[in-house]
Amino acid sequence: MTSNELTTHIFEKGSYLCVGLDTDIHKVPSHIFNESSDPVFSFNKAIIDATKDLCVAYKINTAFYESAGLRGWESLQRTVEYIPSTHFKIADAKRGDIGNTSSQYAKAFFETYPFDAITVAPYMGRDSVAPFMQYPGKWVILLALTSNEGSHDFQLQPFANNEFLYEKVIMEAQTWDGPGGLMFVVGATRTEQIAHIRKLAPEHFFLVPGVGFQGGNLREISRQGLTTQGGLLVNVSRAIIYASSQKNFAEEARIIAQQYQIEMSEYLKEVKSN
């Protein structure tokens, strides 16, 4: 998916919501197990059907599928193939290795499975990221500033020129690829930094996880991070997909997703009118 296509979807739908399919089999409502031989896929399918007009992207957290072995990869494959082609499909896989190995990961997520984007860890530097950048229309979403406590251990440590590691990652990576193929992960618990990070990378999309369960503030994130091209994908996982553990889980998921979409459409109007 191109940057222009993503921008068009965002403004047409009034939404930059990404629904995170971090589907834990232990949280799938019990009735689904009686109805399906692949309860994780059946759960995801119901969530996708209930939310697809309200969101522009889905993010599949691969760990939740890998932990189930082959059965999990089958559920992942069915899920990514079920997501409509109008939606931006993110493999939240946090990969990254030396060149010939990253090429194999790129093949896995961009050829074997039809994802549009993959999250990548920056620690090994440019040549570990480059193989993912060689696919036209596919995206790297590079970890910059994450929402967890451990972000203080390295990301928020200052380099010799008083620049934090995450700032160096953002500045360095912009010499690797333009805003049509590279996004950054910016945790939503870092609301106070989003305006600053937007200055560092004025044109790149940010994938913002941590809204909902982790307590990020959607209003602040949006006012500081939105651009005239959209510029944000805000991911919500647990608050939507586990809105209810009953038979009505998909309807409840839709209600929560719609609350986000309505709020997002207001912030998008502010951007348009500025």
- Residues 46-84 as b or e (16 or more Cβ within 10 Å = b): bbbebbbebbbbbbbbbebbeeeeeebebbbeebbeebe
Closer residue to a second copy in complex, CB, 53/127: 127
Q: Which amino acid is at 182?
A: L
Task: Write down the residue that tokens 């890998």 correspond to.
Answer: 66
Shortest Å, Cβ 265 to a second copy: 29
Closer residue to a second copy in complex, CB, 33/123: 123
Shortest Å, Cβ 118 to a second copy: 11
Shortest Å, Cβ 239 to a second copy: 14
Closer residue to a second copy in complex, CB, 104/134: 104
Within 13 A of 245's CA, how many CA atoms are on the CB side?
Answer: 7
- Give the binding site for a second copy (CB under 8 A): 22, 24, 61, 63-64, 66-70, 73-74, 77, 92, 94-99, 101-102, 104-105, 107-108, 111-113, 121-129, 143, 146-155, 157-160, 162, 165, 168-169, 172
Q: What are the φ and ψ backbone dihedral angles of 34, each rounded to 5 degrees?
A: -80, -20
Catalytic pick among 94, 138, 247, 272: 94
Shortest Å, Cβ 161 to a second copy: 9
Closer residue to a second copy in complex, CB, 7/147: 147
Go through the chain and tell me how many residues it has: 274
Contacts of 23 (CB under 8 A, 6+ apart): 40, 43, 44, 64, 65, 75, 241
Shortest Å, Cβ 251 to a second copy: 25
94 is catalytic: yes
Orientation of helix 99-107 relative to helix 126-133, angle to 10°: 30
Closer residue to a second copy in complex, CB, 211/268: 211
Give the residue from 174, 253, 225, 162 showing the smallest Cα distance to 10.
225
**Alpha-carbon gap, residue 179 to 1, rounded angstroms:** 13
**Alpha-carbon gap, residue 185 to 166, rounded angstroms:** 10
Which amino acids are annotated catalytic?
A: 94
